[in-house]
Amino acid sequence: MPGKSRRFQLTRDTARPEGGGRAAPGDAPAPARQWPLLAVMAVTGVGLLLVACDVFRVGTLIVGVAMLGGAALRWALPSVGMLAVRSRFTDIVTYGVLGLAIVLLTLMAQPHAWLKIPILEDLLHFTV
């Protein structure tokens, strides 16, 4: 069969993720078009700054809440700019699971844990 072989085709373009369009009109300045990503990054930066200033538990809680906020933004807004990395479902699950894990681990951090979940404590002691 003469013609082009499909075996070694080069990828010429990739589709943007669902919701990967601009979060503000195209004539808005660049930071305004990416406000969802910048909001998540700003809250995460505040949390990391608090961790650096030796306020570990509050800082890591803020980082986890930032991830949960990213999941909420991805779910609620039709266009979130560069906050959209994969499909909407995958982004929401990824941001949500990571945020929830960070919050739970922060609440269980020793000494003087704010949250005690016996099965997770047993799992932690078993792995360490």
What is the band of 1 on the pLDDT scale with cuts at 50, 70, 90? low
Work out the end-to-end distance of the chain between its first and last CA atoms, rounded to an integer number of angstroms.
Answer: 61
User: What is the structure's pLDDT at 54?
Assistant: 92
Residue-wise pLDDT for 73-121, tens only, equals 999 988 888 888 888 899 999 999 999 999 988 888 878 888 888 887 7
Sequence-separated (6 or more) residues with CB below 8 Å from residue 28 = 22
Residue-wise pLDDT for 2-20, tens only, equals 556 566 666 666 667 766 7
Indicate whether 85 belongs to any domain. Answer: yes
Indicate whether 105 belongs to any domain. Answer: yes
| Cα–Cα distances in angstroms (integers) from residue 79 to residues 22, 84, 95, in the given order | 6, 8, 16
Q: By C-alpha distance, which of 95, 40, 105 is closest to 68?
A: 95
Residue-wise pLDDT for 19-35, tens only, equals 677 677 777 777 777 88
CA atoms lying within 13 Å on the CB side of residue 51: 14
In contact, 36 and 80? CB cutoff 8 Å: yes
- Of residues 127 and 70, more confidently modeled: 70
The whole domain housing 47 covers 34-127
Indicate whether 3 belongs to any domain. Answer: no
Indicate whether 10 belongs to any domain. Answer: no
Indicate whether 12 belongs to any domain. Answer: no
Indicate whether 109 belongs to any domain. Answer: yes
